[in-house]
């Protein structure tokens, strides 16, 4: 049993490395977030906000790397490209946090991934509806983040950073409305309303795009069940007449 597991790991060594790096980043993020203040005090030259940002980014990168590992296992071209970008981002974020072990691991795996480039020939077939759903979501976030950042001085308190703009976009389109940033001008109120309408309409569109195949599948199954039931009833009716 152990021999089979070891053989599988050797056969898919690159996948194992990437998923392991993802787990490492997840653990790093989990450690950084609750102990941000202590880490900042120990290092001295890193502020608490940078440590928190490093922890969040590390956790997100870890999740994405473990997820993309399945694409690496299938030798998908798109997985190779996405993983390359994630590893470069991992190097930069680990440099920001002065995590040199993370920098070394990310760099080494990036080099190994590049050396195996020719093995990634499989293509990923994605339905146009999924691409449309991704595009709608990306457009909503880009629209809100860019707009709130441009008119950030018309909110109280001001929206001055991309993170604040993205946060307010998500809060607005989800209609949670925490009230952290209040629009104080007519232009800001109009843009906020437009973001809400765009977000609600966009999410409904995404839901329709994603569930429509399941609705068609359910209708097909229902039709088949009705046909089978009808045939069974006809057969039983004929059997009764013969008796």
Dump pLDDT digits (tens) for 65-120.
Answer: 888 888 888 888 888 888 888 889 888 888 877 778 888 988 999 898 888 888 88
Alpha-carbon distance of 120 to 132, in angstroms, equals 26
Q: Which residues of the chain have pLDDT under 70?
A: 1-11, 33-37, 39-40, 42-48, 124-128, 177, 235-243
Alpha-carbon distance of 7 to 11, in angstroms, equals 6
Q: How many CB atoms lie within 10 A of CB 68?
A: 22
Check residue 174 and give its pLDDT. 82
Among candidate residues 88, 55, 91, 71, the one with its CA nearest the CA of residue 15: 71
Go through the domains of the chain in sequence order and give each one's CATH number. Answer: 2-119 (no CATH), 128-235 (1.10.287.70)
Check residue 111 and give its pLDDT. 92
Among candidate residues 20, 27, 101, 26, the one with its CA nearest the CA of residue 61: 26
- pLDDT tens readout for residues 196-205: 888 888 888 8
- Structural tokens at position 183: 């629009």
Check residue 11 and give its pLDDT. 54
Check residue 4 and give its pLDDT. 52
């Amino acid at each position: 049993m152990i021999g089979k597991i070891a053989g599988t790991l050797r056969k898919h060594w690159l996948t194992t490395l990437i998923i392991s790096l993802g787990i490492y980043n997840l653990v790093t993020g989990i450690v950084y977030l609750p102990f941000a203040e202590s880490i900042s005090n120990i290092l001295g030259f890193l502020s608490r906000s940078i440590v928190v940002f490093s922890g969040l980014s590390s956790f997100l990168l870890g999740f994405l790397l473990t997820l993309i590992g399945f694409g690496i296992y299938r030798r998908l071209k798109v997985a190779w490209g996405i993983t390359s970008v994630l590893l470069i981002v991992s190097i930069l974020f680990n440099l920001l946090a002065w995590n040199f072990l993370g920098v070394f691991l990310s760099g080494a795996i990036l080099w190994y991934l590049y050396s195996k480039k020719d093995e990634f020939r499989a293509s990923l077939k994605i339905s146009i509806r999924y691409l449309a759903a991704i595009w709608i979501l990306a457009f909503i976030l880009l629209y809100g983040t860019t707009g709130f950042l441009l008119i950030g001085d018309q909110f109280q308190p001001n929206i001055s950073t991309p993170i604040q703009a993205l946060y307010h976009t998500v809060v607005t389109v989800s209609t949670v409305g925490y009230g952290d940033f209040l629009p104080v001008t007519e232009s800001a109120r109009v843009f906020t309303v437009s973001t809400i309408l765009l977000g609600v309409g966009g999410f409904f569109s995404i839901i329709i795009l994603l569930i429509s195949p399941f609705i068609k599948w359910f209708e097909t199954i229902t039709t088949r069940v009705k046909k089978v039931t009808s045939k069974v009833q006809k057969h039983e009716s004929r059997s009764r007449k013969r008796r």
